[in-house]
Amino acid sequence: MLKNKTALVTGSTSGIGLGIAKALARQGANIILNGFGDADSPKAEIAALGVKVDYHGADMSKPSDIEDMMKFAADRFGRVDILVNNAGIQHVARIEDFPVERWDAVLAINLTSAFHTTRLALPAMRAANWGRIINVASVHGLVASAEKSAYVAAKHGIVGLTKVTALENATTGVTCNAICPGWVLTPLVQKQVDAKAAALGLSNEEATKLLLGEKEPSMQFTTPDELGELAVFFCSPAGNNVRGVAWNMDGGWAAQ
């Protein structure tokens, strides 16, 4: 379905980003990966799906790096047809204790980077009259949790940016939507499970139930593959008139 399209997925060397990149690759899209850490393994996973793949290590807190990455993608594959803004970091503290530099970093990577990639991707998308911008927000773009002020502010901001982008392009073939996951079993979340198990003397299974039970009525994790399939839907003909939505895949979290 996406043969000859190019997808750039930020924060895609592992976790949700890699799951979305693989789902798009299975539909034939060429992939530009981005993120920290090992890039060779995810590149090999994408290449094994029979598409072209490349990697750019832009620091998503730096506008100049983002501009270089977008130019790299255009030079490599012509243009970015599908932009997935997934890069994100987290810091947990009460507002009065929240380090100012951590607030700035969370807002820069989780929100401002999506503004920069979007503004740079839109001209070519509009010229082609086809494009998909998918912002990976969070259930925290819809509801809040204590001690996550920067993350919640950024994710609410991403939902707002999604709506504005959708409205500004509503009469074109360019759509913009947000995905709002609840708990997703990524390496980062597994570390939280492991830490809870160690701190409370619980088994991994008990710690998992405790973590999910706090927020997620389904008592099961959403998977990166499931989120990838939602991204594929947004890119399909069925998604042509889906514009400006914040689609939560959260096991009922926001329904409470």
Q: What residues are annotated to the active site?
A: 151
DSSP calls for the chain: --TT-EEEETT-SSHHHHHHHHHHHHTT-EEEEE-SS--HHHHHHHHTTTS-EEEE---TT-HHHHHHHHHHHHHHHSS-SEEEE-------B-GGG--HHHHHHHHIIIIIHHHHHHHHHHHHHHHHT-EEEEEE--GGGTS--TTBHHHHHHHHHHHHHHHHHHHHTTTTTEEEEEEEES-B--HHHHHHHHHHHHHHT--HHHHHHHHHHTT-TT-S-B-HHHHHHHHHHHHSGGGTT--S-EEEESTTGGG-
- Name the nearest CA neighbour of 137 among 122, 157, 119, 163: 157
What is the CB neighbour count within 10 angstroms for residue 13? Answer: 21
Identity of the residue numbered 37: G
CA atoms within 13 Å, Cβ hemisphere of 59: 5
